[in-house]
Structures are given as C-alpha cells and as structure tokens.
C-alpha cells in the first residue's frame, strides 16, 4: 500500500463527452482532480474542465456532455 500520495486537487471530476461522427458516435470519459480558483463558480469550473477535456481529446470537441460530476476529493 502506498505511503505517499502525490498532491491532488481539492475536487474529483468525471466527465463524458459524446459526438456524432460518420457511421456512429465517439465518446470520451475523463477522470482527474481539479482545484477551483478562489471566487470561481460551478459554471466557471465546468467551462474550464470542458475546455481542458476538449484540448486533450479534440475528436469530442463540441460534443454533448453525457455525464458531469465534481465532488470534494476527500472521504
């Protein structure tokens, strides 16, 4: 069992984007941690997260959000 946890963001994010393509759909699910900036709203965070995912996977850029969750990254 690991004794050291690398620095993580304050929130855990899961987001799935799906986009129609010729002959079907392409979808991508991403999971990572994120720390909102002071004063940032949930909408601001969502837009930052979506832009990040679209930069990482341009094939789903402009696609539909099928699932989005952001929760505190703690038990």
Where does the chain show beta strands of DSSP type E? 11-21, 24-34, 64-72
Q: Tens of pLDDT along 25-72?
A: 999 999 999 999 999 999 999 999 999 999 999 999 999 999 999 999
CA–CA separation, 72 vs 33, rounded Å? 9
- Name the more confident of 75 and 47: 47
Domain boundaries, the chain: 11-72
CA–CA separation, 18 vs 68, rounded Å? 12
| CATH code matching the domain that covers 11-72, chosen among 1.10.155, 3.30.450, 3.10.20, 3.30.499 | 3.10.20
- Name the more confident of 59 and 1: 59
- Asked whether the predicted pLDDT for residue 8 surpasses 80, the reply is yes
């Amino acid at each position: 069992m690991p004794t050291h946890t690398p620095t993580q963001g304050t929130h855990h994010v899961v987001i799935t984007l799906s986009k129609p393509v010729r002959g079907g759909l392409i979808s991508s699910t991403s999971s990572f941690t994120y720390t909102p900036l002071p004063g940032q709203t949930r909408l601001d965070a969502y837009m930052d997260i979506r832009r990040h995912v679209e930069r990482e996977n341009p094939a789903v850029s402009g696609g539909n959000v099928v699932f989005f969750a952001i929760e505190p990254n703690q038990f």
